[in-house]
Amino acid sequence: MPAADLQLDWVRAFVAVVDAGSLTAAAPLVHRSQSALSMQLKKLEDAVGRPVLNRGPRHLELTPTGLELLGHARRLLEVHAQAQAALHGPTVTGRVSLGVPDDYAAAYLTPVLRSFGARHAAVEIDLVCEQSTTLLPKISRGEIDLAVVSRDRANRGTLLFHEPLVWVGSPQHEAWRRDPLPIAAYEAGSMARRAALAALASQRRAYRVVYNSASLAGQLAAVESGLAIAVLTRCSMPPGLLQLQEKHGLPALPSMEVAALRSRASAGSGAVDALHAEVLRTLRRNG
């Protein structure tokens, strides 16, 4: 009996779930509901004849069959994207400078670049990883073309999603029990820094900034060493740290509005148009 054909939608669903780590995170990437995505995975497994994913309550794991299929699946999608580009218009070329803070780059940039690279392999991307407070004026001055940042005011750029801020500490050192509270903070002017200090002021909690760093790596080093606690975006919190809450004596924190912005100087660039569209398609969430 001949093997069943693998439909492209099933393959795309499979790769999206593997890359996103869950059906919930993958669904908006392929513009499907979770139930529709689950059905596509089932059809793929029926066609393959064996499970490709072990789906636990909190994580997904590739089966040996799924691991073998994944490389073929990526190549299928890449060849399909190349065929689409060849048939439906001229190749987009050029260079794009893209600004993203370290935490958003690590958490969100991979699916954008993977999909964009498959469609527009001739475009060169210069990645600038700096804090949002540094990237925003660079967009205004036209020094970079496009940025994914925590926006500083409503209606600036296109809203993609809300990213919660969280207090984090090392469970081995319990720095949150000290008085005054030792804080690791981003650079002066950082929106995360302002939010943290305003929350502590509203609680009338005594604190002391004992460590300053503009980098995510620097913040993590301060926390992991037990020197201080810090405020991070939830997406950048590594597994070994503890998210601190009201039961630890810490006040609630707001969420950051993550938005895509492009410079006026980039108008008319097909490469920037294409990358901007890919960012919106991949990262923008409804609601």
Note whether 120 and 76 are same-domain residues.
no
Note whether 140 and 171 are same-domain residues.
no
Among candidate residues 87, 102, 123, the one where a domain is terminated: 87
Query: Total domain count for the chain?
Result: 3
Of 104, 128, 130, 142, give the one whose Cα is nearest residue 279. 104
Half-sphere exposure of 204 (CA within 13 A, CB side): 0
- Domain with residue 35: its CATH number is 1.10.10.10
Q: Report the predicted TM-score, pTM, of the whole model to 2 decimal places.
A: 0.73
Note whether 12 and 54 are same-domain residues.
yes
Note whether 98 and 166 are same-domain residues.
no
Using the Cα atoms of residue 113, residue 115, residue 117 and residue 119 in order, give the sign of their dihedral.
negative
Of 8, 30, 3, 4, give the one whose Cα is nearest residue 17. 30
Note whether 138 and 246 are same-domain residues.
no
Q: What range does the domain containing 71 cover?
A: 8-87
Query: What is d(CA 104, CA 162) in angstroms, rounded to the nearest whole number?
Result: 12
Note whether 169 and 251 are same-domain residues.
yes
Q: What is the pLDDT of residue 287?
A: 36
Tokens for 37? 């995505």
* Other beta carbons within 10 Å of 280: 13
Establish if 2 belongs to a structural domain: no
Note whether 48 and 180 are same-domain residues.
no
Establish if 3 belongs to a structural domain: no
Among candidate residues 39, 58, 87, the one where a domain is terminated: 87
Tokens for 103? 């935490």
Note whether 25 and 153 are same-domain residues.
no
Establish if 1 belongs to a structural domain: no
Note whether 144 and 168 are same-domain residues.
no
Q: What is the pLDDT of residue 58?
A: 60
Buried b / exposed e over 10-30, threshold 16 CB at 10 Å, is bbbbbbbbbbbeebeebbbbb
- pLDDT averaged over 10-residue windows placed end to end, the chain, 287 residues: 80 84 77 87 92 78 91 86 72 92 91 86 93 94 96 87 96 95 90 93 94 92 96 93 94 94 90 92 72
- DSSP SS3 for 156: coil
- Domain with residue 132: its CATH number is 3.40.190.10
Q: What is the pLDDT of residue 241?
A: 95
Query: What is d(CA 227, CA 223) in angstroms, rounded to the nearest whole number?
Result: 6
Query: What is d(CA 56, CA 117) in angstroms, rounded to the nearest whole number?
Result: 31
Strand pairing of 94-99 and 158-169?
unpaired
Note whether 83 and 134 are same-domain residues.
no
Establish if 231 belongs to a structural domain: yes
Q: What is the pLDDT of residue 89?
A: 64
Note whether 60 and 181 are same-domain residues.
no
Of 7, 69, 63, 72, give the one whose Cα is nearest residue 40. 7
Note whether 75 and 102 are same-domain residues.
no
206, exposed or middle or buried, with CB in 10 Å at 0-12, 13-18, 19+?
exposed
Establish if 110 belongs to a structural domain: yes
